[in-house]
Amino acid sequence: MDNSKTRLLERLGEAERKYIEIEQALASPDVISDVENYAKLSREHKLLTPVIEKYREYVATRRELEGAEELIRSESDSELRALAEEERQQCLEKLDRLELELKTLLLPRDENDERSVIMEIRAGAGGEEAALFAAELYRMYSMYAAASGFKTELLYANETGLGGYKEISFGVEGEGAYSRLKFESGVHRVQRVPETEASGRIHTSTVTVAVLPEVEDVQVEINPADLEIETIKSSGAGGQHVNKTESAIRMLHKPSGIVVECQDERSQHKNREKAMKILKSRLYDMKQREQQEKIASQRRSQVGTGDRSERIRTYNFPQGRVTDHRIGYTIYSLDSFLDGDIGELIDALIAADTAERLKSEEI
C-alpha cells in the first residue's frame, strides 16, 4: 500500500473514532441538557456522517477483496477460481471509486457552504439594456431558488421605467444556498438585439453579480457610532406608496465607506433591519477578501477567484447559448436556462472546482 493511501486510511480511522465519541456524547444527559454544546456536536455529527458511511463501505469492500483473493489462492476448482477472480476485479474497481469519493469528502470545506446568501445584481455597461438583463437574471435566480426549495426575499430594488433594475439585492434562504450559488459572482455578459434597437444590431451589455454569505450577529460586530443613518423617501418606477413617506433607509458605515439603501418595506424599522443584514454580509465578504489577498500566493481555483470584475459568462441570444468561460462549458438551451434551469452548469462548476482542489491538496 502506498504512503498516500496509508495516510488516507489513518485519517479516516481517526475520523471514525471521533464520530463514535460524538455519538456517545450525544446520548449523554449532560450534553443533551447543554443546548449550545448539543447543537455543536450535532453539526459535527452531521458533517462526519457521509464520510464515515463511505469509509465503512470501503472497509467492507476491502474484506470482500481479501476473501476473493484467499479463495483464488486456495481453491482448486477452476470455475470457482474464475468466479473469485471476477469478484476480485469488481472489488478493485469499487475500491478505486470509493477512494476518490472519500478524498473528495475529505477536502477542506468552505465554512460558508451551508449558509443562506444575499445576492446583489447591478447593471453595468449597456444602459437600459443592462438594467433589463439584470431583471432577467433576478427572475432566473428566483426560479432556480424556488425549484431548489430555497426561499427568496427582496431586500432592495432600484427599478427603471421599463421594468429593469439598476441594482437589486435579495436573500436566498436555505441550507446549502451558498454552496450552490457562490460561483455566480462576477460579470455576466449578454449579446442580443435590444427591443428598442430599430436597426437590429446586436448589442453587448454587462451585469455584475455578487454572492455574499449571510452572517450571524456574532461574526460581525458593528459599533453603532460607526453608522450614519438617514431616512429618505422611496424612489422607483411608481406605486401608491412611493414618495409619500420617508420609510426608506440609507445606511453609511463610516470606517469602510459602504453605503446600503433599503426601501422595499413600508416600515422604516423593517427597512433598517434589512439594511443591517446587507451591511453585515458586505463587511464579512470584505474581511474574507482581505484574508484571501494575504494568501494570494496560494492556488487559485480554475473556476475563478470570484472577483467582481472577472467576466465569467456570456448569454448569446442569436445563437441560443450560454457559455461559462471559466471552464469552457456551453449549454445550447438559453431559454430554459433563463427560466431557472441552471443546475447542470452549477454541477459542472462544482465538479471542476473539486477536481482542481483534488490535484492541489495532499490527501
pLDDT, tens digit, 9 for 90 and up, residues 30-61: 999 998 899 889 988 988 999 999 999 999 99
Q: Are residues 266 and 332 in the same domain?
A: yes
Q: In the chain, what is the straight-line distance between the N-terminal and C-terminal CA atoms, in Å? A: 15
- Please report whether residue 110 resides in a domain: no
Output the pLDDT for position 294: 52
Q: Are residues 256 and 283 in the same domain?
A: yes
Q: Are residues 161 and 95 in the same domain?
A: no
Output the pLDDT for position 298: 41
Please report, rounded to a whole number, the percentage of residues in the chain having pLDDT higher than 70.
86
Q: In the predicted model, what is the mean pLDDT of residues 346-351?
A: 94
Output the pLDDT for position 240: 40
pLDDT, tens digit, 9 for 90 and up, residues 231-249: 877 655 444 444 445 678 8
Q: Are residues 92 and 125 in the same domain?
A: no
Q: Are residues 125 and 242 in the same domain?
A: yes
- Please report whether residue 346 resides in a domain: yes
Residue 26 and residue 44 in contact, taking contact as beta carbons nearer than 8 Å = no
Q: In the predicted model, what is the mean pLDDT of residues 160-169?
A: 91
CATH number, residue 207: 3.30.70.1660
Nearest-angstrom CA–CA distance, 204 and 316: 9
Question: What is the band of 134 on the pLDDT scale with cuts at 50, 70, 90?
Answer: very high
Question: What is the band of 263 on the pLDDT scale with cuts at 50, 70, 90?
Answer: confident
- 65-79, 209-223, 291-305, range with the lowest pLDDT: 291-305
Q: Are residues 79 and 185 in the same domain?
A: no
Residues 6+ apart with CB under 8 A from 187: 124, 206, 207, 208, 209, 308, 309, 310, 311, 312
Q: Are residues 157 and 283 in the same domain?
A: yes
Question: Is pLDDT above 50 for 297?
Answer: no
- Please report whether residue 13 resides in a domain: yes
Residue-by-residue DSSP string for 27-74: T-HHHHH-HHHHHHHHHHHHHHHHHHHHHHHHHHHHHHHHHHHHHHHH
Residue 232 and residue 219 in contact, taking contact as beta carbons nearer than 8 Å = no
Q: Are residues 133 and 101 in the same domain?
A: no
Q: Which amino acid would we find at residue 300?
A: R
Q: Which amino acid would we find at residue 252?
A: L
Do β-strands 186-192 and 311-316 pair in parallel, antiparallel, or remain unpaired? parallel
- Which residue range is the domain that position 82 belongs to? 3-105
Q: Are residues 289 and 150 in the same domain?
A: yes
Residue 167 and residue 156 in contact, taking contact as beta carbons nearer than 8 Å = yes
Question: What's the number of CA atoms in the CB half-sphere (13 Å) around residue 23?
Answer: 9
What 3-state class would DSSP assign to 214? Answer: coil
Q: Are residues 163 and 279 in the same domain?
A: yes
Q: In the predicted model, what is the mean pLDDT of residues 195-223?
A: 80
In the listed set 55, 73, 105, which residue is the last one of a domain according to the structure? 105
Output the pLDDT for position 324: 96
Q: Which amino acid would we find at residue 91?
A: C
Q: In the predicted model, what is the mean pLDDT of residues 13-29?
A: 94
Question: Is pLDDT above 80 for 196?
Answer: no
Mean pLDDT: which of 74-78, 304-308, 333-337 is highest? 333-337
- Please report whether residue 361 resides in a domain: no
Q: In the predicted model, what is the mean pLDDT of residues 63-91?
A: 93
- Please report whether residue 22 resides in a domain: yes
Residue 136 and residue 164 in contact, taking contact as beta carbons nearer than 8 Å = no
Output the pLDDT for position 51: 94
Output the pLDDT for position 97: 94
CATH number, residue 24: 1.20.58
- Please report whether residue 362 resides in a domain: no
Structurally, the chain folds into a number of domains equal to 2
What 3-state class would DSSP assign to 335? Answer: helix
Q: In the predicted model, what is the mean pLDDT of residues 335-340?
A: 96
Q: Are residues 139 and 101 in the same domain?
A: no
Output the pLDDT for position 362: 58
Q: Are residues 82 and 131 in the same domain?
A: no
- Please report whether residue 135 resides in a domain: yes
Question: What is the band of 307 on the pLDDT scale with cuts at 50, 70, 90?
Answer: low
- 141-145, 274-278, 313-317, range with the lowest pLDDT: 274-278
Output the pLDDT for position 236: 53
- Please report whether residue 287 resides in a domain: yes
Please report, rounded to a whole number, the percentage of residues in the chain having pLDDT higher than 90.
51
In the listed set 105, 128, 158, which residue is the last one of a domain according to the structure? 105
